[in-house]
Structure 1
Amino acid sequence: MSKTAFPALFISHGSPDTAIADTQAAAWLRQMAADLPRPRAIVVASAHFEVSGGVAVSADPDPETIHDFGGFAPELYAMQYPAPGEPELARRITDDLQAAGFPAQAVDRRGFDHGVWVPLKLAYPDADIPVVSVSVDPNKGPDHHFRLGQALAELGAEGVLVIGSGSFTHNLGEAFKLLRAGVREADVPGWVQEFTGWMNERLAKNDVDALIDYRKEAPFAARNHPTDEHLLPLYVALGAAGEGARASRVHDSAEFGVLAMTMWRFDPVAL
């Protein structure tokens, strides 16, 4: 790694209306780019790009904006994020993943789901940086995705920003109760605080083994993540920063009480 290597980021992208909401998380995303050099490209592992049995890498030169949600404000469905893709980078990532033992393939006609375009529209509103999406596998756990991130570790030294886009906690059943009531700001229950406290402590200590085994070790793991897919991008980002990466919590807020919008930055060790 060079001293100018990009960090990898884990972003909690939240509800699709984060793109238009006046929230702490949206405010942080709007200033995110100010703390980084301009990347030559962005690679996003999104919780909403799910592929079982392999890894898909978007190779479309002109990806469409996918409105993969329902019941939100009409203006959200009119929003576009016309950033270009980068087929050459997609093929290179595919080759690197295959060399690392992953059954990977570049795919066309894969647009930007809201896990990709919502945070990028806030952070990079000009949509002038090429973006490549990488899938997660809902049937594979943290170890698989940590190793997937490791296969992307050279990208940061080449001016590519790797982002894992998911959610630090993701119990939608609990969140929808307050969402339907229009209550975005609510008290954070103890079972969320205990889980996020455990995760934050292990991330700060770079305790990768414990983090990979979070479903057994973390308090209230299954309640905070009934399914894995929204936490898996965290492991991609952690792996992409390389061994011994320095972890920094860069944002911490909550929405609907149970959706932790925590964001982490992983800086590679300079060599």
Structure 2
Amino acid sequence: MTRSALPALFISHGSPDTVIADTAAAAWMRGLAADLPRPRAIVVASAHFEVSGGVAVSADPAPETVHDFGGFAPELYRIEYPAPGEPELARRIAGDLEAAGLAARALEKHGFDHGVWAPLKLIYPEADIPVVALSVDPNGGPEHHFRVGKALAGLGREGVLVIGSGSFTHNLRAAFPALRAGRRHLDVPDWVSGFTGWMEAKLADGAVDALLDYRERAPFAVENHPTDEHLLPLYVAMGAAGERFAATRMHDSSDFGVLSMAMWRFEPALAETPAV
């Protein structure tokens, strides 16, 4: 039986408590698996797995669930995501990254941070698919992460689902007042919608140069991403679809007014689809 190719995804994982919250994004993630071929493995580039100067790939056969946050409901700290790792795939990915001219290493004894397990708990709650975590470089910028993604392009044809897990907007200072008050459903301010509208248009156009230079070209870029580690996984997902990609927005909602929970699907542009 021929395995269907998988797209690459960008998931806005939101606040850690999204996994137990009654939000539109959480409900959408719970239904996502039904719209995808079942992957044989999952690779997640997480905004919370930060490594400078290269790419780290988790190669632990049984990663632990890391509760890398504080101040949330006690039930959140009891959640486990016991998916197995896949060391062989991790080592292969590290090798592919090195072949692409990127410093990379397989890393043992590294657990799943909430950028990995929180969305997967909603999408694949059985935790029965092997998962490999991939780091982002907080100093690497979009172009580096696009290169990382391109080194993974082709995994989708092998039944491996590549996910970039971050946030389409991520200004926590602006979100904290509403977060503390538990006010999730607020109007989206113009400085957020101006940024997301620009990003959506460039993604739909496949405007790679503009997207890689978003920090200079996008309106309100720094206001929405004071630091850009939560947007960098988007570029991994973009690259994993190939040099030329087709982007489709799968979901759009907001949390606390200022956190865009937009979710994107990336596939090779038609010109790159091989003939059969």
What TM-score bracket applies, with the shorter chain setting the length? over 0.9
Identity of matched residues, %: 74
User: Corresponding residue for 2:146?
Assistant: 146
Instruction: Tell me the distance in 2 between the aligned counterparts of 1:226 and 1:45.
Output: 20
User: 1:159: which partner in 2?
Assistant: 159
Please give the TM-score of this superposition, normalised by the length of structure 1. 0.98
Instruction: Give the Cα separation in 2 of the matches to 1:121 and 1:24.
Output: 16
Cα pair 1:184 1:256 within 8 Å, conserved: yes
**Are 2:42 and 1:66 aligned?**
no
Q: Secondary structure at the match of 1:147?
A: helix
Q: Give the gaps of 5 or more residues in structure 1.
A: none
Deviation string 1:188-244 (CA, Å, 9 cap, x unpaired) is 000000000000000011101100000000000000000010000000000001122
- The answer to whether residue 220 in structure 2 is matched with residue 220 in structure 1 is yes
Give the whole-Å Cα distance in 1 for the aligned partners of 2:209 and 2:3: 27
CA distance in 2, matches of 1:3, 1:213: 36
Pairing 1:140-219 to 2, within 5 Å after superposition: 140-219=140-219
Distance 1:216 1:247 in 2: 22
Residue 246 of structure 1 deviates from its aligned partner by 1.4
Between the aligned partners of 2:160 and 2:182, the Cα distance in structure 1 is 38
Q: 1:86 — aligned with what?
A: 86
Residue identity opposite 2:165 in structure 1: S
Q: Is the 8 A contact 1:11 1:163 kept in 2?
A: yes
Secondary structure at the residue paired with 2:152? coil
Residues 94-128 of structure 1: CA deviation (Å, up to 9, x unaligned): 00001011110001111100000000000000000
Counterpart AA for 1:253: S
Matched residues in 2 for 1:60 and 1:192: separation? Answer: 38
Partner of 2:34: 34
CA distance in 2, matches of 1:265, 1:147: 18
User: Does residue 137 in structure 1 map to residue 137 in structure 2?
Assistant: yes
Match of 1:15 in 2: 15
Q: Secondary structure at the match of 1:151?
A: helix
Q: Which amino acid aligns with 1:173?
A: R
* Count of residue pairs brought into register by the alignment: 270
TM-score, length of structure 2 as denominator length: 0.96
2:4 and 2:37 in contact (8 A); partners too:
no
Query: Unaligned regions of 5+ residues in structure 2, if any?
Result: none
> CA, structure 1 residues 3+74, in 2 after alignment: closer, same or farther (shift >3 Å)?
closer
- Give the root-mean-square deviation of aligned CA atoms: 1.0
Residues 1:229 and 2:229 aligned together: yes
Matches within 5 A, 1:48-127: 48-127=48-127
